[in-house]
Amino acid sequence: MMAFRLALGVSCAGLLLVAVIALAGCQSCRGEQTSSEPPPAPDTVAGLDAVPRDVQVVLCANLDDLRESWLVRRAVEQMFRRDPELEVRFRQLIDTCQIDPAVDVDRVIVALSRSSGTDETIMVVTGQFSEAELASCMSQAMAAAGGAFTYDRVDGRTFYHASGRQHIWFTVPGPQTVVLATSPEWLARAVGDGEKITSSNEMSALLERVDQRAGLWAVGSIDERIGAGLVELTAGQVTSPPGSVFVEIHPKAGLQVSLGAEMNSKKDANGLELLIKNQMSVGAWALQGRGLGALAKKLRVYLEDKTVYLRLSLTEEELKEVLSRIDTTGGSAQDPPQPEE
């Protein structure tokens, strides 16, 4: 259980090591005030309200759901068995910082953008933290890594800058929330008064197409390079890539996956549906040869207007059976047998 609690935080532990210093609550000293009233505090910002309007992709991990998943427990326990040193490092994280990412972190939102021609990332972390302990931990971590830590006041907030192998800026825009960015400009946009993703008609519509309570979910548009590759792969069955995609994963009780691709035309939607069904037929043959025919039967692909859906639903017992057979086949599962000519 200790290994699980440590490992569940692996996806956000690096984030936390940088973010925790933000919770130190370092305040600038004030000079003499000419007015008896202090300046108004900036508005609290949290969740999707910290995501700028023009991002292309949003991903979210709800750890309240993930920590109860048998599949997640299995995955992280295997990860620690393969890399014992990783477990040691996470034990050190808990002992030094007095935080357990698997318990103290509730949600992580990651937003990606290429609108300015460069990759920009926003992260919004929600959880339970001790400011003093985390500040002390981060100070030690930065000193040990040979990095640097500075801060500045920007529009009534404290912007922190952690620099080492990478540069990350972060701030604390509200209780139990840390916002991180790959540039100070994007951090200012995340916690500023500008338009956010919730005011974008296109992204708001996509957000409504996923269950935001799912353990993992994502919405966004397809990168141009990936889209071009998809069109080429279909050999003319699809003439343009999906306009948007959305996915949600529920690993709490078994495994339920739903992937949707909204095409730009009904013709392309029909083409993609046919392509996936053809690929599923080939895949079903390969799965059957490994005793996984039941898995193939659980996959569903269907069309609703211009949206192609691919869904998989397994109970915990079915999931355990599938993974047991995969474990039995070992590395051979990666290379399906080729049909005889």
- Between the two ends of the chain, the Cα-to-Cα distance in Å is 50
CA distance 180 to 293: 45
Q: For each of the chain's 341 residues, which pLDDT tens digit applies?
A: 444 343 444 444 444 433 333 333 333 333 334 445 666 778 888 999 999 998 999 999 998 888 888 888 888 888 888 888 877 877 777 777 777 777 888 999 999 998 666 889 999 999 887 656 666 676 677 777 788 888 888 999 888 888 877 888 888 888 888 899 999 999 999 999 999 998 888 888 999 999 999 999 999 988 777 778 778 877 778 888 898 999 999 998 889 999 999 999 999 999 899 888 888 877 777 676 666 767 777 889 999 999 999 999 998 888 888 888 777 655 433 334 344 43
Do 273 and 264 contact (CB within 8 A), yes or no? no
Sign of CA dihedral 260, 265, 270, 274: negative
In this prediction the pTM is: 0.77
What CA–CA distance (Å, rounded) separates 112 from 108?
Answer: 13
The Cα–Cα gap between 221 and 244 comes to 4
**How buried is 74 (Cβ within 10 angstroms: 0-12 exposed, 13-18 middle, 19+ buried)?**
middle
The answer to whether 170 touches 19, Cβ cutoff 8 Å, is yes
In this structure, are strands 255-262 and 216-220 parallel, antiparallel, or unpaired? unpaired
Rounded to whole angstroms, the Cα distance separating 120 from 112 reads 6
Question: Which uninterrupted H or E stretch holds 6?
Answer: helix 2-7
Which residues of the chain form beta strands (DSSP E)?
57-62, 105-113, 120-127, 148-154, 157-163, 167-174, 177-181, 216-220, 244-250, 255-262, 299-304, 307-314
